[in-house]
């Protein structure tokens, strides 16, 4: 049993030691390095606030739901989340919020807003939440620097931080207004990896505890926590197979698994049944394999121990398969399955209807990462050749995240940190010999000093310029996407400018419809309608009832007579004079004189 006093003492000692190390080394750190990191953070902030020229607005659709949730929590208390049944959503059934949404995002927003208000920041909740992604992404950029600095070196960390700050997939999902699962989830992912790197390097259970906390934080914020859990499971399995697991590292990984799974299972959305989820079971199996590995290898010879361990692994895999096909284990969601096997996406028309869930084209992938694709592969080779424990973690991250990105367009944000870190390592590694060449003033030839050839320095400068030039495409791509207006500002259209159609429509709904009205619209716009007008909708971006969405689609494509009958079924006993149908015709908004609205 853990001694509380001892635990607190160890935390104090870790903080004290960290501060001592910091103050001892601060004089050794280059002032230029510190200023460079500060400038990178300013670049990150500036790129993400460029769309503020249109005003402080929440972006896309989901952030509006999280705004409603955060507002509800602040007015009713954090405990109210767990009993909230939202009668403004999914009419006529309503929505049980705690059973259908992760609490991490609104809880984060509420806590930060309370802290900001306490220190005198005077902003409306709406405006403050629009800025939260800027705060989290700036911290994420610093975490990238710290991770790479810890694994490789300082210059690599700075370059990786710059590439992360200017990553176009990351900018798009962390600019002003993107208060969503990705902005919180990527931050939590990097925080977990940062502490895990520290834990493995120092073989520290305390760092493993904090890494598990961060992993648990991700698990209550973003569904992509399944990726992190299985990344750690695979990483641990490779360390076991390569004979690198000792008792200290075994304690590190068992601590991580225990804390992260405990937090993941503590929320109603996941619940204790998470231990029966096929997405979490591999990490629990690895937990058992760690214990088995340490036990059998301490009692048996290495060869016999490896054979017994391999047999146990095969047995566990067979057991998982049997439990899965018999229905004992909870299957993965169709979205996760479509990432693992893109061919399954065709079986779910609703999944196919969402653009960000489609398989990205190679042009799209190259547009997102451009030269970083090549640089990251070289960085992967550098780390694999060196082969340290934490090198393997980054290598696995790049390989697995690249596969996920190639399988689903939305997951390019998941791969952005990996490409930034591996590319930073590559660029730093390639630059070092040429920087030395430029610095070299004399060559010792025996005991005689000979001046260096001018051609050597010129050659070094040219090569450095060419290497740095490879950073230009991703940097320019980040700048290009930074000024895209918020979706509500552009009227739901992919245009770089204002279109007031939606704002005017939402104001009209709020001013001209009864408070108990039901608005029937395509599911994309459900969150906008409910959040801005406080009116009830039949479907939104999280509707689980695919039959209801199909009925709405059929209504839009039917004749007026058939559509009315469908509406009656949708709203059941609701008075028809309280029912409104919202129709959005994007092509008629872009080309008003071309007759597309007919």
Domains and CATH numbers, the chain: 4-90+110-342 (no CATH), 501-590 (3.40.50.12610)
Please tell me the predicted confidence (pLDDT) of residue 449.
Answer: 52
Please tell me the predicted confidence (pLDDT) of residue 321.
Answer: 82
User: 318: pLDDT confidence band, cut at 50, 70 and 90?
Assistant: confident
Backbone angles phi, psi at 445, to 5 degrees: -115, 95
Please tell me the predicted confidence (pLDDT) of residue 61.
Answer: 92
User: 524: pLDDT confidence band, cut at 50, 70 and 90?
Assistant: confident
CB atoms within 10 A of CB 13: 11
Distance of CA 285 to the CA centre of its chain: 25
Mapped onto helix, strand or coil, the DSSP state of residue 413 is: helix
Cα distance between residue 387 and residue 393, in whole Å: 10
**How many Å is the maximal CA-CA distance in the chain?**
100
Please tell me the predicted confidence (pLDDT) of residue 350.
Answer: 66
Lowest mean pLDDT among 66-80, 229-243, 345-359: 345-359
For the segment 82-96, what is each residue's pLDDT rounded down to a tens digit? 999 999 999 988 999
Lowest mean pLDDT among 126-135, 225-234, 264-273, 495-504: 495-504
Question: Contact, 151 vs 197, CB < 8 A?
Answer: yes
Compute the half-sphere exposure of residue 240: CA atoms within 13 Å on the CB side of its CA: 30
Mean pLDDT, the chain, integer: 85
Please tell me the predicted confidence (pLDDT) of residue 7.
Answer: 56
Question: Contact, 363 vs 120, CB < 8 A?
Answer: no
Cα distance between residue 238 and residue 557, in whole Å: 53
Question: Contact, 129 vs 113, CB < 8 A?
Answer: yes
10 Å CB burial of residue 153 (0-12, 13-18, 19+) is middle
Cα distance between residue 434 and residue 155, in whole Å: 14
* Residue 448, beta-bridge partner list: 445
Strand 95-96 with 85-86, pairing: antiparallel
Stated pTM of the model = 0.89
Q: What is the mean pLDDT of residues 398-411?
A: 92
Q: What is the mean pLDDT of residues 90-105?
A: 93
Question: Contact, 580 vs 520, CB < 8 A?
Answer: yes
In the predicted model, is pLDDT for residue 1 greater than 70? no
Lowest mean pLDDT among 15-29, 331-345, 367-381, 548-562: 15-29
Lowest mean pLDDT among 27-36, 217-226, 451-460: 451-460
Mapped onto helix, strand or coil, the DSSP state of residue 85 is: strand
For the segment 424-463, what is each residue's pLDDT rounded down to a tens digit? 999 999 888 777 766 665 444 444 555 545 445 666 666 7
Q: Which is more confident, 182 or 408? A: 182
Q: Burial code of 100-115, b = ≥16 C-beta within 10 A, e = fewer?
A: ebbbbbbbbbbebbee
Cα distance between residue 423 and residue 376, in whole Å: 4
Q: What is the mean pLDDT of residues 504-516?
A: 92
Question: Contact, 266 vs 272, CB < 8 A?
Answer: no
10 Å CB burial of residue 547 (0-12, 13-18, 19+) is exposed
DSSP annotation of 147: H
In the predicted model, is pLDDT for residue 416 greater than 80? yes
Number of helices (H) and strands (E), helices first, in the chain?
26, 7
* Residue 450, beta-bridge partner list: 443
Ramachandran region of residue 120, left (φ > 0), alpha (ψ -120 to 50) or beta? left
Closest by Cα among 435, 431, 433, 425 to 382: 425
Helix H segments across 326-452? 334-340, 349-352, 362-369, 372-386, 389-407, 412-439
Cα distance between residue 123 and residue 107, in whole Å: 18
Question: Contact, 556 vs 539, CB < 8 A?
Answer: no
Residue count of the chain, please give it: 598
* Residue 443, beta-bridge partner list: 450
Cα distance between residue 56 and residue 3, in whole Å: 48
Q: What is the mean pLDDT of residues 390-403?
A: 96
10 Å CB burial of residue 330 (0-12, 13-18, 19+) is middle
């Amino acid at each position: 049993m853990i001694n509380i006093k001892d635990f607190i003492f160890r935390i104090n000692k870790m903080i004290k030691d960290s501060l001592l190390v910091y103050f001892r080394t601060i004089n050794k750190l280059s002032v230029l390095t510190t200023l460079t990191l500060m400038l990178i953070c300013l670049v990150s902030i500036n790129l993400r606030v460029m769309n503020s020229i249109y005003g402080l607005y929440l972006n896309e659709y989901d952030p509006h739901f999280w705004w409603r949730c955060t507002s509800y929590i602040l007015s009713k208390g954090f405990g109210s989340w767990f009993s909230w049944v939202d009668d403004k959503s999914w009419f006529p059934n309503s929505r049980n919020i705690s059973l259908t949404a992760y609490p991490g995002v609104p809880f984060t927003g509420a806590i930060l807003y309370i802290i900001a208000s306490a220190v005198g920041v005077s902003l409306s909740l709406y405006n403050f939440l629009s800025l939260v992604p800027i705060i989290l992404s700036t911290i994420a950029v610093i975490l990238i620097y710290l991770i790479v600095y810890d694994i490789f070196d300082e210059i690599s960390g700075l370059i990786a931080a710059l590439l992360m700050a200017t990553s176009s997939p990351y900018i798009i999902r962390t600019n002003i207004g993107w208060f969503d699962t990705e902005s919180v989830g990527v931050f939590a992912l990097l925080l977990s990896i940062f502490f895990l790197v520290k834990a493995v390097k120092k073989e520290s259970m305390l760092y493993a505890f904090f890494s598990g906390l961060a992993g648990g934080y991700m698990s209550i914020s973003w569904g992509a926590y399944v990726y992190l859990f299985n990344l750690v499971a695979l990483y641990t399995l490779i360390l076991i197979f390569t004979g690198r697991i000792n008792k200290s590292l075994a304690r590190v990984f068992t601590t991580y698994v225990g804390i992260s799974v405990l937090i993941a299972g503590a929320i109603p959305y996941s619940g204790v049944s998470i231990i029966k989820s096929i997405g979490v079971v591999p990490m629990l199996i690895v937990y058992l394999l760690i214990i088995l590995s340490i036990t059998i290898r301490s009692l048996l010879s290495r060869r016999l121990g490896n054979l017994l361990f391999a047999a146990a692994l095969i047995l566990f895999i067979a057991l998982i398969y049997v439990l899965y096909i018999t229905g004992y284990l909870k299957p993965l969601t169709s979205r996760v399955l479509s990432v693992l096997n893109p061919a399954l996406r065709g079986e779910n028309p609703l999944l196919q209807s969402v653009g960000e869930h489609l398989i990205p084209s190679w042009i799209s992938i190259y547009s997102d990462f451009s030269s970083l694709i090549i640089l990251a592969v070289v960085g992967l080779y550098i780390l694999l050749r060196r082969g340290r424990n934490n090198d393997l973690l980054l290598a696995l991250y790049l390989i697995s995240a690249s596969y996920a990105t190639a399988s689903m367009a939305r997951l390019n944000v998941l791969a952005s940190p990996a490409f930034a870190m591996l590319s930073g390592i590559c660029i730093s590694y390639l630059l070092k010999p040429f920087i030395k060449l430029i610095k070299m003033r004399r060559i010792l030839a025996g005991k005689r000093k000979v001046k260096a050839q001018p051609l050597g320095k010129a050659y070094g400068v040219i090569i450095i310029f060419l290497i740095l030039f490879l950073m230009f495409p991703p940097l320019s791509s980040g700048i290009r996407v930074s000024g895209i207006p918020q979706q509500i500002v552009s009227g739901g259209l992919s245009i770089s400018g204002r279109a007031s159609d939606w704002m005017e429509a939402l104001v009209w709904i709020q001013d001209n419809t009864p408070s108990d009205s039901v608005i029937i619209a395509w599911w994309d716009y459900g969150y906008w309608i409910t959040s801005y007008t406080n009116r009830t909708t039949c479907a939104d971006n999280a509707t689980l009832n695919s039959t209801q969405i199909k009925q709405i689609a059929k209504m839009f494509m039917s004749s007026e007579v058939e559509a009315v009958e469908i509406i009656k079924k949708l709203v059941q006993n609701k008075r028809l004079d309280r029912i409104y149908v919202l129709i959005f015709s994007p092509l008629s908004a872009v080309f008003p004189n071309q007759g597309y609205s007919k």
